[in-house]
Structure 1
Amino acid sequence: MSQKILIVGAGFAGVCGALGAARVLDGAGVTASDVEITLISPKPELQIRPRMYEAEPQNMAAPLLPLLDAIRVKYVEGSVERISVADKRVSVVSADGQQHSLAYDRLLLTSGSKLSRPPVPGLEGAFSVDHIEDAVELDAHLDRLATQPATPARNTVAVVGCGFTGIEVATELPKRLREKFGADARIRVVVIGSQDEIGPDLGANPRPYIAEAFESLGVETVLGSRVVAVDAQGVRTMSGQHIEAGTVIWAGGMHASPLAAQLSPNLDSLGRVEVAANLRVPEAPHVFVAGDVARALTDDAGRYALMSCQHAVVMGQFGGYDVAADPLGIPTLTYRQPFYATCVDLGEWGAIYSEGWDRQIKLTHDEGKARKRMINTKWIYRPAPNRADALAAGNPLASFG
């Protein structure tokens, strides 16, 4: 009977996990009849989640079946609702509501994260850019507003959240709104955050450039007071301020998939599983975790991976290697990703690109924008569906020469 490897999730970590696992089997001369790799996800596509703040979000997905066929990875369409570590089985629900279970010898969980939605009254009326469906709904809403008479409320968007996503959404909006409402429309974009500074997790170095971009684009900020209610007229902050807005976009942080909690009680504040150096779950030794559901050290200095595409890609490669190497008796690898870079899109102002955890600015304005464009349109996309290129893209050590 063949060994069965299941990969749950088709985000960046899941797809790269499939590439990494297939590469191990190919290198070991193992056939699919000996070790079967199956990827499970609701749709056979990779949503390009880092681009959901851009226009035309309906185009931000890449088909996966040709790629999976090239590397001989099976695909099962459905959502995993339960993981039974004791039985080594997962419960899958298909789109039509049918339930079935799949057994595994090794499991790689890469089920990602979702937008955190705290119990704020009226939050269900806010939009987001969490997934394609959300971003498309927002775009359709803006198109509907464009058919209505111009008013201050119609022309105002409140973006709740002053982190990475909130910044990129807010700085892209002036251009998008003028394209929809007219070049002379009096656009107002307001970023609201409970922190005292914009981009609190980005550090001091990028902040002056973000402030310059906000001023250049006319983006306003309301900081130091969290949103306590959302209604049809806008948002209200804890300080009592009401900001009238026809559109509210929630960008208030992320939380790991609830499947993580089924593996271990050792979770961080974001719901991520504490993993060993080889991404194994100590409490479930047949399970490995990568991407947004993993709290994993990136280096020997005590830095942990972020919920980011760049960490998900490399962690997925390592997770794929380890989940396939383990049943074959091949030594697993220690996940390490010492290089860290940040590229923040700032709309028509440009972008900033920094390197290192202290975020030393390397590129700004048009040069930064060119780097961001390269990242968003080239680097984060998966390889062409030919076997040689696909297997090469699964190498977890490629980044280190």
Structure 2
Amino acid sequence: MFEVVVVGGGPAGATAAEDLARSGHRVALLDREGRIKPCGGAIPPRLIQDFHIPDEQLIAKVNTARMISPTGRHVDIHIENGFVGMVDRKDFDPFLRDRAEAAGAIRFTGTFLRIDRDGKQRWVVYRDKDSGEEMRLETRLIIGADGAKSRVAAQEIPGGDKTPLVFAYHEIIAAPEANDRYDPTRCDVIYDGAISPDFYGWVFPHGKTASVGMGTFHGDVNLKDATAALREASGLSHCETLRKEGAPIPLKPLRFWDNARDVVLSGDAAGVVAPSSGEGIYYAMMGGRCAATAAAATLATGRITNLALARKLFMREHKTVFNVLQSMQDAYYRSDSRRERFVSLCHDIDVQRLTFEAYMNKKLVKARPLAHIKIGFKNIRHLAGLVAETHV
């Protein structure tokens, strides 16, 4: 019998399984495998440090972010004293699963079906990938880390089947040589309603390849056509297409992450993708760590209420950042005129420094209160249209 079965082997599930295995718990990691999530692949220094990511997993190091407006104006924001690492989920996710297994987690490959219970006994039921037969894993607790359309969440958590989703799509292409439009050390973020009416498009370097994609909440948008338009606008239409991937991304954290019985969620299953930026890898891994902490506390004390620690610990550190990013998305992603204003605001050096300090360290910076006040006034003036747009 296992103490914990982790359903889902992405960054959240693999991290939870590794943490629990390293602390001496008997853990099973159940994953479908073969699925690659569309993802720009950016990971900040804090993730690299907190989760001990080796340099060989970084396929590129980015030192500049270019924000591009609907009219093609751009602002280059340089990363001071550091870089953003880039990973390819095709390789990064298996690396995390292998590391969990090396720590002691026992791997199973198949598709989660349901949880069966009989008195105090419970089993995770899954369809084995090789045999196609239903198999069962007996366990005390379950961590659901099976993605945005989580079966675990839908079956076990109130409201778990009603998560609002952004649909993301990207194409991995053979990267061109550096030129006046493509820089292998720069991430391009495109705020253009013609590409996405409510989110953004991206061109992220991956060393010898690049990720080009977009996301939207609107179901009537053709993601492939929008990505083709983005490639055309970015001078990348001629590049060889190596992979095409699409998947839903949750828009906001769920209200409940556990069923007050034997299940707790993490990662996309819990809805922990940052608003505005869509960043998910760091928050998924941190969510996995919080779920592992909650499960370990529950096993140690026998108090099921400790499952709620997963959400409490995560929100204690990241709720304010999520709220600020949600407010920014609500304010600026509503129209192209607002997106133009947003790119203009990004010219401000205080905005650039505070934004990247918060991104790199995953905390709102409190060291310069006067800068925060100044940014607040500028933000109001930009939204009111009282500031002339800066042209580049």
TM over 0.5: no
TM-score bin, normalised by smaller chain? 0.3 to 0.5
Q: Give the structure-1-normalised TM-score.
A: 0.43
Q: Give the structure-2-normalised TM-score.
A: 0.44
Query: More helix by proportion, 1 or 2?
Result: 2
